[in-house]
Structure 1
Amino acid sequence: MLSDLIDDFERACNDLLMAVRRGDESAVNLIDAEIQPLMHTIFRQHARNRDEITLQLEFFARLAVRNCEDDVGVRRYTGMMKALFDRYLPSAVNPDLADMEAGQGALSDGYDASLHEMLLDSVPERVAVVGLDYRYLYTNQPNADFHLKRPSDFIGKSLVDVMPPELYHSRAKPRLDQCFAGARVHYNYETTDAAGRMYDVRCRMTPFIGPSKAIAGAVIVLTMQPMFAPVA
C-alpha cells in the first residue's frame, strides 16, 4: 500500500514535469491539485514494519533534497520527518509491538541502530556532522565508503586528517567558519575517488543546532555527480 502510494506520487510528479514542458496549464493545475493530498496520504500511513518505516522516511528525505533551494519546503519536509521519528521511535522499545515484523526481526529486538542512522545510510548523498572544533561527530555509510573507511573511523577525527591540508585551509575551513556563524553555505568542487573516477560535487553546509539551541557545528551534505570524458 505505502509503496503503491509513493509510486503514484512519483508518477504524478513526472506527469507534472511533462505538462510543464508542454505548456499545458490545464493539466498542470489538475496534477498539482492531486500531488499535495497524495503526499499527506503517504504521511498519514502507519508503517507495518521496519522496511516501510525506512521507505516512508526516505520519501520525505528525497523531497527535502529536491527542494533544497526552498527553505520553506525543506522545513516542511524535515518537520514531517521529525513527526515520523516521533511516531515510530517509541515502538522501537515497546515489547507489545514485537509482532510488527514477524519473521524479519521486530523493532523491539534491541535498539541497535537509530532510525536516524538507518535513514542517513540509505540516502545516496554523503552526509557528515562536524563540531565547532572541526572534528567529526558523525558520518553516514556513503561518505565512509567514499573514503574506504568505516563510519566509526571518523568519530573524533579532524577534517584536516581526512582531506589534503591545503584544501582544508583554502576551501573547507573558511566555509565551515561561515556556517558556524549561522550561514547556509553552498559551493561546488571536483574530486576523484579511490578508483580514479572524477566527480562534480555539490557541497551544502547547514548550521547544526545543539540541545542548548545554540550552533554546535555544521551538517555537511555532498551530492556526487559523475563526470564523463567527452566522446572524441
Structure 2
Amino acid sequence: MSNFCSRKCSDDAINAAPAIFQLSPIDASYKDVEKQFLDQWKHPTHPGTVHKIWRVIATRKAHGKFSRYQLSVERTQNLKDGNSRRRWHGTMRNCRLGDEDNESTLCDLVIGRRQCAVCSIIQSSFKLTRAGQRFNYGRFGTGIYTTGTSSKANDYVVERGGSPYRAILLNDVVLGKTKKLRTSNPTLTQPPAGFDAVVGEPGRDLNYDEAVVYSNDAIRPLFLVIFSPS
C-alpha cells in the first residue's frame, strides 16, 4: 500500500532516500502496523502506547537488491513473494530519530564504539558483518534475527540517546523455505541445504519465535515504530 499522493511523490521520496516518512494515525498503513504491534505483544508486560509510526524509504539500490533476491527465492522454491513476512527487530538507538515531527534526520552517532544501529539499518539496511556485535551468542549462528513477537523484539531495544520512548523496526523478510528448529545450533553460518531461513519455534530452548536469514538481501526495514513504554 502506498502512502504517497502520486507516482511523482513516490519517486521524489525514493530520490531523497534513505529517509523516513511520517504516517498519519488515520492512514490505513498506520492502523495496520499499530494493530500488528499490539496483537503480537505476547509478554505479560503492557505494550504501552504507540507514539509515532514512520515509513522507511530505501534507496533504489537497496530496494533492487531485495527485489532480486525475493524473485530468485520465489522462482527457486515456487513460493509466492518468496514467502515474504513482516517481522520485528529490536536494536540500539543513540539518537531520538522519529520521536517528534522534526526529528527525522538520520544520525551518525557513535557511543562507546557502537554506532546508532537504527539509523545505520535505515541508511544501508542490515549487515551480516555486524551480527553478534552486541551478543556473543546466537541460538542459530551468524545470521540476522527477527521475530513475529513485538515484545520479544522489545527485549533487544537499547536507548542511549536519552529518549523517553522506545523504537523498534518492522521489516519485510524473505523467509523462503524454512527449516524449523526447536533446539539451538549456534554453529550455523547459512541455512541448512535446501532451505533459505531458519525458524526457531517455541518449545525447548525458546519461549518466543525467531526467524533468521543469512543474506543481507533477504531483509529490508519497512517501518520505524516509536512507542511509550508501559
| TM-score, length-scaled by structure 2 | 0.28
User: Which structure dedicates a bigger proportion of its chain to strand?
Assistant: 2
More helix by share: 1
Greater relative contact order, per chain length (Cα 8 Å cut-off, separation 6+): 2
Structure number, greater radius of gyration: 1
